[in-house]
Structure 1
Amino acid sequence: MRTLRCAALVFGLAASAAHAATLVHNIRGYSLDGDQVQTFSALEFDKGVITHLYRDVASADASRAATRIDGFGATLLPGLIDAHGHVSSFGRALATVDLVGSSSEAEAARRVAHYIDAHPDRDWVEGRGWNQVLWPDKAFPARAALDAISGERAVVLGRVDGHALWVNSRALALAGIGAGTPDPDGGQILRDEQGQPTGVLIDNAMDLVTAVMPGPDVEALAALQYSALEKLASYGLTAVHDAGIPAREVEAYQQLLAEDRLPIRVYAMLDVRDPDNDRYLEQGPLVDAQHRLDIRSVKISADGALGSRGAALFDDYSDSSGNRGLLLHSRKELAHHMHRAVAAGYQVNTHAIGDRANALVLDLLEAVNSNSRSAALRHRVEHAQILRPADISRFPALNVIASVQPVHATSDMNMAGDRLGETRLRGAYAWESLLESGARMAGGSDFPVESPNPFHGLYAAVTRQDQAGRPPGGWLPKEKMSREAALALFTSGAAYAAHQEGVLGHLQPGYYADFILVDGDYFTLPENDLWQLQVKATYVAGEQVFPARSDADG
């Protein structure tokens, strides 16, 4: 670890601190300056903004701050930023059937049955998190298992990646899906040998069911968002980039902002498919003066996900002959959405997982970025998961940010080789290769697909192992990142990807006092312990938003 030590390391905005300031002391403080680490023993802030960093205890003792917070020897890090999550979906996941980790179709169905027993008044039963790759036969589930327990209720269960639904016969009937229903463009209705729907809908086919589901009103959405953001704060997140929200969720966020009830910062991406979002595009970017709620980007999805074989590939899936995945929009449609977003001054953030989808998105962004005004908007590829090696260098060349989720590599390693084969793995989950190419990068989790705990992502980026330490030495170990580079993904990199690098992502005077206290030293702990770090306190603009042991000792 390289440590930057300045002679004074006071970084003062003024010669002396204001009496109203707050000093956080008895800490091991870290921040990043590029790839170098700054260390300090106390941090001072006033009115939500950092005023001083103190190198040693003696200089901190001279502080005139009116309030002192004892960190009790904790490590202080910059507030972590998740550059890709789904807040309302996470809030909904907290309140519906949790299928994460279910070991079989039968166990998943049992969890649904228990939920129905506890909520007998529900006409629609929702849940998420099933993953057939973890089941003994690795086969997609079928509606029969749900029909046996659901009665007249409609059951709708999202796959862990959000790119497939498992539904019962009641849900299919309400959506009007039968043997004669054609597959929609960019979607697939899985069918049995008789041509009947099995109950699994891939990508755009999911819309057939979600279109008939009763949706929460703005008040209910605001409640979901608030519960989710509170939970995210407990993991040490001080900001989140919400990837693809409809207009009603914008309204819910605006309601929380007006009520001063946003526990952490939100950088929202408008779902470009929602026509009600057109009014926000017409208004132009919405940037809050305090960066509590910034809306200056759109989200577009080019393809599906690898686990459901919806990621768009140039060649057949290695384990599914004749299947090359799904492009969710035509080239013309993608270009149209990109150009209209850019014309409105919005950053374009495009979901692309397969190599064909990534190449297509880069081709379109190359054309869009021929306009210097567009290039300045810092367009992003969300996931950038499977790349042809030749496309890696295109990210820095085109000024395109790679927004990656490190934990996807260790979650997918049990099936990625089967799906892709050895040759295509050379450009898959290539986080270190992207970094070495000079690409700008941001890090996230894609919660609730994965846990929102950012230390799980940091651990995955550094070790390329699951939490049991498998495989020895890490999966595709050439793509391991240093601790500094991994931390930058979730701090300065994510801040840059949101046009917020001048006020967020670092700990230095003039930046917001967004920081966390954790129970171990991120830079000296054994690698295998990184995912187990626990957050003791989370602060946003100097306000404690997650309770902890730290106490003021005036």
Structure 2
Amino acid sequence: MKKVLFPLLTFSLLFSCKPKEKVDTLVINANAYTVNTAFDKAESFAIKDGKFIAIGNNKDIQEKYTSLNIVDANNSAIYPGFIDAHCHFYGLGLQQQKVDLVGTESYDEVLQRLINFQKKKNTTYITGRGWDQNDWEVKEFPTKEKLDSIFPNTPVAIRRIDGHAMLVNQAAIDLAGITTDSKVDGGEFIKKDGKLTGVLIDNAMNFVNNPKPSKKEQIQALKDAEKLCFDLGLTTVDDAGLDKEVIELIDSLQKSGDLKMRIYAMISNNQKNLDYYLNKGIIKTDRLNVRSVKVYSDGALGSRGAALKDEYSDKKGHFGALVNSYENLQKVAKRISASDYQMNTHAIGDSANYIMLKTYNEVLKNKTDRRWRIEHAQIVDLNDFNLFKNVLPSIQPTHATSDMYWAEDRVGSERIKGAYAFNDLLKEYGKVALGTDFPIEHVSPLYTFYAATIRKDLKGYPESGYQMENALSRENALKGMTIWNAYANFEENEKGSIEVGKVADFILLDKDIMTIDGKEIPNTKVIATYVNGEKVN
């Protein structure tokens, strides 16, 4: 008996003395949502070479691994790094160098911000973004007379919050060569009594050439945007519309270590970009993915540029417009379908959505796993939801809570039933990609989560929530900000969940958004953001 016991005891001692594996980081005492297939939770995980190598409970992980860097989460809620499926990352950075007009409650407040900005910056061309006449007491487009009086010689061009309308003064009009006889397809020069008001809609804005930022300003814009995003828990952003020059700048900054944000770059739909990228093929690094084309089909609902099947309820005889011709949209779709690239089309109105859904389904016939996306899918005819069966809806929940005060005025009580219908879209495709469209909306993904699930504004209105039949469950909203967004980017095998082998992108929050009272969600704070296991904020 002793002879048998001794070798067993020796084996036990040898096993217990087996050295622990050294890793770069150990996270312990966590309340971690892995967002894996089973939606498991975990207490601890180990990170090595920027990836998760083990996930489990505190005891098992600490018995097997050791590290000089141990992060005690103190039971904080941990989630995979948030992914924004539709935003304007570079534009957000540039906006930090312009007049911020978000939240202005009157045209006079807009003018005052312009005056204050010019006193400080004294620029030769004033640009900015963020005004929204729907937030003013007088809910009408402004006119340029006051701008002309305050800035008679300095060009001013300020975009509406949705980016689909612009107010310019006479100095900017003269510089652009716009006259009362100017015409444009897919846009409008708004006039009153035969005179230009200074408001340009959609393609009319292309006449205005704002000053191009210097390379130094471009780099600063990217770094400014990165800091804002990391501070709010975003680890990957889908930038909806970039040109080759900016994409190559992003790539160089990422490779030098000066930019750590992961970016899914949608190239802007123009001849130069298509010729270069579709011929070159997919470009993929550990932080950059270039494999999609951002296309515009129509304008925005707030500026009545969204293309509707029937006239606007609040503007008789007006239907909005396609900003690209039907023929051009067909041609572009066919060209992209012959490549490996994804097509992501901005479609707001029910007419634009119908046209693009039919186009997608036609050109992708017999093609599998293309994951083409409709960006916004904002107003959809109830008869057309079935067309999303093979088309991924990429939606922005805060648009619903920003537009809910006036959206029904635009489309009426029947069409509004197919508006901001997140749950109905989810039922059709089985997944939804969630984003913000920042800087049109606030950057915070927590506001996205709140708008998707609680469907109220930050003041708690409406009391019972907005069209709650289309609210997402918290689990689906979290998937729509992590693993489903990774899927939308063809990256579900490398990110979007806390699983072995995936990149160690994760965040710590001071509250558990899966369980707290809904009204607390917008006030939740990001404790830390990690990319590749490195703390970046």
Q: What's the CA shift string for 1:308-332, capped at 9, x where partnerless? A: 0000000000000000001011111
- The separation in 2 between residues aligned to 1:107 and 1:33, in whole angstroms, is 48
Post-superposition shift, 1:274?
5.3
**2:242·2:265 contact (CA, 8 Å) conserved in 1?**
yes
Runs of 4+ in 1 over 4 A off after TM superposition: none
Q: What's the CA shift string for 1:478-498, capped at 9, x where partnerless? A: 111110011111101110000
Corresponding residue for residue 212 of structure 2: 215
- The separation in 2 between residues aligned to 1:119 and 1:217, in whole angstroms, is 16
Corresponding residue for residue 399 of structure 2: 408
Superposition map of 1:27-426 within 5 A? 27-34=30-37, 36-55=38-57, 57-66=58-67, 67-120=69-122, 122-182=123-183, 184-193=184-193, 195-209=194-208, 212-273=209-270, 275-288=272-285, 290=286, 292-372=287-367, 375-396=368-389, 399-426=390-417
- The separation in 2 between residues aligned to 1:378 and 1:103, in whole angstroms, is 40
The normalised TM-score by structure 1 is 0.91
Correspondent of 1:543 among 529, 534, 537:
534
5+ residue gaps, structure 2, are: 1-17
Over the aligned positions, Cα root-mean-square deviation in angstroms equals 1.5
% of aligned pairs identical? 38
Range 252-261 or range 471-480, more displaced: 252-261
Post-superposition shift, 1:16?
9.1
Q: Report the structure number with the largest CA radius of gyration.
A: 2
5+ residue gaps, structure 1, are: 1-14, 547-554
The normalised TM-score by structure 2 is 0.94
Correspondent of 1:20 among 20, 23, 27:
23
State the SS of the aligned residue for 1:242. Answer: strand
- The separation in 1 between residues aligned to 2:21 and 2:386, in whole angstroms, is 48
Post-superposition shift, 1:359?
0.2
**2:36·2:498 contact (CA, 8 Å) conserved in 1?**
no
Corresponding residue for residue 458 of structure 2: 467
- The separation in 2 between residues aligned to 1:16 and 1:390, in whole angstroms, is 64
Q: 1:443 to 1:463 in 2, by over 3 A?
A: same
Post-superposition shift, 1:394?
1.6
Corresponding residue for residue 510 of structure 1: 501
Q: What's the CA shift string for 1:497-518, capped at 9, x where partnerless? A: 0000001111111111100011
Post-superposition shift, 1:192?
1.2
**2:55·2:499 contact (CA, 8 Å) conserved in 1?**
yes
**1:233·1:263 contact (CA, 8 Å) conserved in 2?**
no
**2:267·2:273 contact (CA, 8 Å) conserved in 1?**
no
Post-superposition shift, 1:277?
4.8
Q: What's the CA shift string for 1:56-94, capped at 9, x where partnerless? A: x33343242213112233211110000000012101111
Q: What's the CA shift string for 1:210-243, capped at 9, x where partnerless? A: xx32212444323211221221111100000000
Corresponding residue for residue 6 of structure 1: none
State the SS of the aligned residue for 2:65. Answer: coil
**1:218·1:248 contact (CA, 8 Å) conserved in 2?**
no
Post-superposition shift, 1:276?
4.4
- The separation in 2 between residues aligned to 1:481 and 1:258, in whole angstroms, is 38
Range 274-283 or range 363-372, more displaced: 274-283
Q: What's the CA shift string for 1:92-148, capped at 9, x where partnerless? A: 11121111110100110100000000012x111111000000111101011112222
Post-superposition shift, 1:342?
2.4
Range 220-229 or range 231-240, more displaced: 220-229
Post-superposition shift, 1:344?
2.7
- The separation in 2 between residues aligned to 1:179 and 1:307, in whole angstroms, is 24
**2:337·2:364 contact (CA, 8 Å) conserved in 1?**
no
